A and B are shown apart, each in its own frame.
Chain A
Amino acid sequence: QSVLTQPPSVSGAPGQRVTISCTGSTSNIGAGYDVHWYQHLPGTAPKLLIYGNRNRPSGVPDRFSGSKSGTSASLAITGLQSEDEADYYCQSYDSSLSGVVFGGGTKLTVL
């Protein structure tokens, strides 16, 4: 059971928009700690997609966007492409656990 809760899977057709939620609590996201998002294709290195809730590293398309409100955060992907099919993880810090925490991951399927 992960500290940050993500839906196990989401899906969408090419060109559509999908969102992935990340629900935490008052000891992590709700305490003001930043949320970061990673894209992970099996067998490869996870890739930073969003840092500091809504910032994109250089090279990440603006189809990817992040937001945070209260004890939750969301990753939105617009204009879905087949290469977006991957696992997505949110990450933050938890003061009760005194450490970095990850969500359980969400598998995105592009139909």
Chain B
Amino acid sequence: QVQLQESGPGPVKPSETLSLTCTVSGGSISGYYWSWIRQSPGKGLEWIGYIYDSKTYDGKTTGYNPSLKRRVTISIDTSKSQFSLKVRSMTAADTAVYYCARGTGRGGPNWFDPWGQGSLVTVSS
């Protein structure tokens, strides 16, 4: 059974860069849309982006929420079964629980299953 676990810094200062890592266990990292999704306090879920590592060709594809694209980078280390999120120029509005999830689909993530437990990131000076 595939399991995902986020790891991250906890509090982040304004203007700093957030770095989070998601470790995948119990399954292959190839052929899925590994995604980040967040939930700000009292609000709904917001998709951040994904990275796709192909089983059949040597290449990686990314897709980002247009509203976050300028500040976000998602990368993957298949040797460690990990993928990572960087969000630059953090502000209080980026305070949220950040989830990693496995996306299944064709041409992009369709649905997400499973999800990690979430990592609370608080932006505060």
Contact = CB atoms under 8 A, between A and B. Distances in A.
Interface of A: 2, 34, 36, 38, 44-48, 51-52, 57, 89, 91, 93, 97-105
Given A45-B118, A97-B66, A98-B66, A105 B44 contact: yes
Given A46-B45, A105-B45, A91 B114 contact: no
Instruction: Tell me if A's interface is mostly helix, strand, loop or mixed.
Output: strand
B112 A91 contact: yes
A66 B110 CA distance: 16
29 contacts: A2-B44, A34-B110, A34-B111, A36-B111, A36-B112, A38-B112, A44-B117, A45-B99, A45-B114, A45-B115, A46-B99, A47-B113, A47-B115, A48-B111, A48-B114, A51-B111, A89-B45, A91-B45, A91-B111, A93-B108, A97-B66, A99-B65, A100-B47, A100-B109, A102-B44, A102-B46, A102-B47, A104-B44, A105-B45
**Chain B interface, DSSP helix/strand/loop, else mixed:** strand
Q: How large is the interface on B (under 10, 10 to 19, 20 to 34, 35 or more residues)?
A: 20 to 34
A48 B44 contact: no
A105 B40 CA distance: 13
A103 B111 contact: no
Contacts of A103: 44
Pick the most buried of A46, A57, A91, A93: most chain B CB atoms within 10 A of its CB: A46
Nearest to A33: B110
A57 B102 CA distance: 14
A36 B118 CA distance: 20
B8 interface: no
Scoring A2, A45, A47, A104 by chain B CB atoms within 10 A of each residue's CB, the highest score goes to A45
A106 B108 CA distance: 26
Contacts of A2: 44
A89 B66 contact: no
B14 interface: no
Contact of A99 (B47, B113, B116): B47
Interface string B24-64: 00000000000100000001111100000000000000011
Contacts of A47: 113, 115
Given A2-B44, A102-B46, 16 more contacts: A36-B112, A45-B114, A45-B118, A46-B115, A48-B114, A51-B110, A57-B113, A91-B45, A91-B112, A93-B110, A97-B66, A98-B66, A100-B35, A101-B47, A102-B47, A104-B43
